């Protein structure tokens, strides 16, 4: 049994406190392959590391069985630990149609905290008042409330290298216990010449001054990104990084902004930065890899192998153009190949990956393709006879990851088959098996819809249940809800629809309309009630199960015709109209379609309601 000690630095008379470890290091931290003894780490801020740093901060040294090192902005006590920086709510939301409301963002941020993400990039506050309010709300709520295991994530806001953006970012994140400002400016010749129209000297000056400005605001955790680093001149890149580290940057992120590099090039880039940048030992090196050539995950892993200790990712790999490095792929690759990766490990609780994937897919409206690694519908399916035979004999023949590792249970493992006679307890057990922790009103709502479906189907499958979960749980604030729908269609005349909606105050509204088909007629009837003109950008309908009695899921994408919301694109500076997605599920395809349309309208109207309200007062923060 190993004995260690804990000392609270920063107290007037620090005293050692002996505590006995319950097991040796191999048991305490099974993710590290090499044997280690329990050692005493002095986790304190070193003011000599950063120019203009504030007075020393105290970090309690604790005897803990947790594998996550204490958080210090510019230092990771365990060199094998890799920080996971999730930018789903910022870069991920730049995907067309991926707009989330503030309440949805907060819900996703809470789950990211439970997932164990080290840093949550909550948004680009200067983009719009809506985004500033959303980031501030996340900082206040998620940034001050530790998860069940005690983990408290850093809350980060993005800013271009100008005071206006930085002021907005700091205003948004400063209410978190661990705030970070992430600022960036392009350093490649093509960007400096054609986008910024600035010289190298001007770029260096701006970068240095703006990082210093963030420091003077009182932010002690600063990330700097040289945009398009993958195509930047190496010597110039080293120089920029040296200057921002001297100015106070605690993390330097190396973006492959257009997904141009291949793994050995990106790994060499990280190695060269480590070897040639003066002062790099005083900052954490991070990676941010786009997926334009399908190499984002591979490049990210190459960067980690070369010494990067923060990896920027998104759930499901969503993001600009072809997306970003996928959180689930990067994390599971590190976990599955830890020996090859030199014993690297993360603080991610992988049991929450499946739930995070589903939540982000539903809130963003972006499908996960069936063959997507880790979280795709086919990821753990085996149809080939040879594969099935191997799986029956030993699962390891064709699975390098167990579905349980990501919180995904196989169908019918519990032996429960749901039908019209199944009760609330049976449904609750099935939901728990599928990875959903649902109770109270949410469980009541799902149970009500379950009984409606079960009355029409002999057996309700897991996929049916998950479709109902998506339709009941992953929905925006209810402003309008569907009460009744009746349609008439066919070859003998125009399709007609009668729709009854209930508003947030319980008032019923009825409208009738005609259309070229039943869905068109129903949508026109909804428009007559809601009185908001929108353009339907995308419509898709899918069957989630086999058979003619399958539950159908519909996803739509809409955009307001007039006075719609806009936001500023972080990288290009363009003002873009926001689009809003919605989803619905039902055995009737028209009902499913109307539910999806109302879901999108609720999200859009909810956005408008938020923008009319005042931003919450900073005094609302819980100390």
Tell me: the pLDDT tens digits for 285-305? 999 999 999 999 999 999 999
Q: Model confidence at 556, in pLDDT bands (50, 70, 90)?
A: very high
Mean pLDDT to the nearest integer, 199-219: 98
Q: HSE of 295 in the Cβ direction (CA atoms, 13 Å)? A: 16
In this structure, which long-range contacts are made by residues 519-524, counting pairs with CB atoms below 8 Å and at least 24 apart in sequence?
519/589, 519/590, 519/593, 519/594, 520/495, 521/487, 521/489, 521/494, 521/495, 521/496, 521/497, 522/485, 522/487, 522/497, 522/590, 522/593, 522/594, 522/597, 523/593, 523/594, 523/597, 524/497
Question: Helices 440-454 & 462-472, crossing angle to 10 degrees?
Answer: 130
CB atoms within 10 A of CB 148: 8
Tell me the domains of the chain and their CATH numbers: 1-70 (no CATH), 83-364 (3.20.20.70), 385-469 (1.10.238), 480-612 (3.30.160.270)
To the question of pTM greater than 0.85 for the whole model, the response is no
Tell me: the pLDDT tens digits for 340-361? 999 999 999 999 999 899 889 9
Tell me: the pLDDT tens digits for 424-467? 888 888 777 666 778 888 788 888 878 877 777 667 777 777 76
Q: Model confidence at 573, in pLDDT bands (50, 70, 90)?
A: confident
Q: CA-CA distances (angstroms) from residue 228 to 164, 259, 307, 417, 503?
A: 22, 9, 19, 53, 48
């Amino acid at each position: 049994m190993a004995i260690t000690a804990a000392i609270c630095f920063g107290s007037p008379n620090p005293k050692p406190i002996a505590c006995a470890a319950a097991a040796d290091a191999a048991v305490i931290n099974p993710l590290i392959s090499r044997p280690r003894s329990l050692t005493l780490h002095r986790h304190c801020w070193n003011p000599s590391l950063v120019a203009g740093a504030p007075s020393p901060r105290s970090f309690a040294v604790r005897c803990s069985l947790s594998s996550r090192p204490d958080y210090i902005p510019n230092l990771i006590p365990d060199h094998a630990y890799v920080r996971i920086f999730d930018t789903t709510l910022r870069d991920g939301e730049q995907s067309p149609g991926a707009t989330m409301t503030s309440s949805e963002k907060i819900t996703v941020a809470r789950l990211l905290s439970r997932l164990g993400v080290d840093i949550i990039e909550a948004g680009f506050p200067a983009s719009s008042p809506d985004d500033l309010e959303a980031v501030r709300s996340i900082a206040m709520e998620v940034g001050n409330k530790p998860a069940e295991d005690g983990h408290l994530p850093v809350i980060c806001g993005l800013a271009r290298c100008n005071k206006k953006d930085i002021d907005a970012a700091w205003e948004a994140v400063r209410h978190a216990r661990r705030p970070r400002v992430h600022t960036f400016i392009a350093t490649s010749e093509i960007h400096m010449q054609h986008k910024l129209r600035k010289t190298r000297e001007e770029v260096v000056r701006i970068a240095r001054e703006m990082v210093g400005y963030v420091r003077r605001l009182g932010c002690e955790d600063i990330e700097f990104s040289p945009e398009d680093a993958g195509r930047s001149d190496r010597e110039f890149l080293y120089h920029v990084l040296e200057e921002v580290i001297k100015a106070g940057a605690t993390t330097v992120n190396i973006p492959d902004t257009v997904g141009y590099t291949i793994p050995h090039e990106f790994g060499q880039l990280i190695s060269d930065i480590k070897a040639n940048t003066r002062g790099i030992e005083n900052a954490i090196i991070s990676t941010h890899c786009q997926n334009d050539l399908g190499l984002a995950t591979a490049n990210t892993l190459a960067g980690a192998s070369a010494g990067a200790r923060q990896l920027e990712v998104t759930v499901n790999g969503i993001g600009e153009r072809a997306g970003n490095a996928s959180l689930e792929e990067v994390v599971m690759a590190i976990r599955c190949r830890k020996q090859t990766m030199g014993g690297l490990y993360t603080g991610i609780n992988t049991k929450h990956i499946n739930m995070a994937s589903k939540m982000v897919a539903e809130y963003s409206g972006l499908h996960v393709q069936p063959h997507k690694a880790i979280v795709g519908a086919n990821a753990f399916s085996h149809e080939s006879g040879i594969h099935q035979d191997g799986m029956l004999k030993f699962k390891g023949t064709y699975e390098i990851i167990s579905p349980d590792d990501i919180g995904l249970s196989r169908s019918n493992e519990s032996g429960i088959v749901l039908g019209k006679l199944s009760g609330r307890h049976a449904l609750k057990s099935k939901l728990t098996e599928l990875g959903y922790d649902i109770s109270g009103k949410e469980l009541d709502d799902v149970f009500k819809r379950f009984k409606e479906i079960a009355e029409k189907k002999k057996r309700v499958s897991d996929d049916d249940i998950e479709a109902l979960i998506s339709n009941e749980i992953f929905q925006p604030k209810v402003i309008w809800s569907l009460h009744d729908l009746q349609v008439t269609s066919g070859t003998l005349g125009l399709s007609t629809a009668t729709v009854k909606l209930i508003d947030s105050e319980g008032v019923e509204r009825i409208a009738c309309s005609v259309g070229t088909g039943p869905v068109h007629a129903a949508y026109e009837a909804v428009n007559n009630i809601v009185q908001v003109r929108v353009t339907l950008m995308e419509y898709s309908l899918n069957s989630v199960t086999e058979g003619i009695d399958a539950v159908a899921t519909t996803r739509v994408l809409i955009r307001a015709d007039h006075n719609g919301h806009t936001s500023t694109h972080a990288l290009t500076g363009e003002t873009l109209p926001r689009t809003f997605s919605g989803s619905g599920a039902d055995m009737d395809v028209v009902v499913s379609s109307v539910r999806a349309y109302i879901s999108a309208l609720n999200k859009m109207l909810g956005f408008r309601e938020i923008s009319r309200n005042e931003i919450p007062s900073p005094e609302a923060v819980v100390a």
